[in-house]
Amino acid sequence: MTTPLQDLAKHGQSAWIDYLSRNFVRNGDLAALIDEGVAGVTSNPTIFQAAIAEGDAYDEQLREVFAVHNDPKEVFLALARRDIQDACDLLRPVFDQGDASRDGWVSLEVDPQLADDTQGTIDEATRLYEMIGRPNLFVKIPGTTAGLPAIEETVARGIPVNVTLLFSLRRHREAAEAYLRGLRRLHATGGDLHAVASVASYFVSRVDTEADRRLTEIGGHDDLKGTLAVANAKLAYQTYLELFRGDDWAELEAAGASPQRCLWASTSVKNPEYRDVRYVEELVGAYTVNTMPRDTLEAFQDHGRVADTLERDVDEARDVFDRFAAAGVDYDDVTDTLEREGVAKFAASFRQLFDGVAAKRREMGQG
């Protein structure tokens, strides 16, 4: 009998886990999940902040690093480097299978405080990729206005990119087009297209949280609550199907390129009235990824249902947009707000992470 995660793979969707810590990697938990069907890892500043703050797993290395670095960011990167490399190595057999889904990736985020700095993002992405030194590293770059040219340039340099903090159909299309431009530039210079890849991390549950809040403020329209996020993701998938088909794409694919898969992020349920695995069950489709927090992944393994849902009711998804507009909810303002807040929250987590490193230094009597 197969598990729900294995069933997802049969339907063409890859299950990744949105969690990383030293104990998780070294105590066998990640290896066990890989055996169950987990095929990738994503991380972000909030995840690392929690991992470093808990327990003493990092204390031995911290003593060594504090002797060399005073800058909290460099201390953090020294810690993250080891965890990311170890996770990459555990997932390398998955990566080396080399199938069309291109799994086995581990993601590390560029400092989100650079979200409005194109050149700073390019430089940081290049540094992180060289620092980790693993072919199955995804560098996470936010799909902001400044991030889009950074995505193109980073891909043109042959560096795999996880485009993060995508909320809107417009931004998703722009991120895909930036990836395609980067691939064409890489191809024109004789680069290895097979070595580079990308996913578009499309955030899901936060869309419902913000849209539902606005519906509550307006009053009524309860039948619309909990509908925008899934509709939004379904239409993003239609963009994917449009851009990664046809003669132009076929030429790049023949040269070794892989499409920029949609990755459903923020898939934990924020509203307890909703089914806890709805953002997995309602978004199952071929050549996609769902990265789940550990609790969501365990819930899906326990009682998740798998069916091809992503291409169902696409016309109904378009109708949802019309109904939100009629109700007085401005979709563009919803997604613009979420992008601003997402960048701000990740940047705040990075600052808290650095504060935590400084606190650890004091706690350990290192200055």
Output the CA–CA distances (angstroms, integers) from residue 68 to 49, 51, 361, in the order listed.
21, 22, 12
Nearest to 344 by CA among 20, 80, 116: 116
CB of 35 closer than 8 Å to CB of 310? no
CB of 52 closer than 8 Å to CB of 357? yes
CB of 182 closer than 8 Å to CB of 207? no
CB of 105 closer than 8 Å to CB of 91? yes
- CA dist., res. 359 & res. 59, Å (int): 12
- CA dist., res. 254 & res. 41, Å (int): 28
Strands 38-42 and 13-18: parallel
Nearest to 33 by CA among 297, 263, 278: 297
HEC per residue, 259-310: CCEEEEECCCCCCCCCCCCHHHHCCCCCCEEEEECHHHHHHHHHHCCCCCCC
Residue type, 91: L
- CA dist., res. 327 & res. 153, Å (int): 41
Token couple for 13: 């969707």
| Cβ-proximal residues to 86 (8 Å cutoff; 6+ apart), any chain | 25, 26
Output the CA–CA distances (angstroms, integers) from residue 15 to 45, 202, 271, 281, 286, in the order listed.
21, 15, 22, 12, 12
- CA dist., res. 85 & res. 91, Å (int): 10
Nearest to 267 by CA among 324, 314, 201: 201
Token couple for 44: 């972000």
Please tell me which residue in 10, 73, 140, 234 is annotated as part of the active site. Answer: 140
73 belongs to the catalytic site = no
What residues are labeled active site?
140
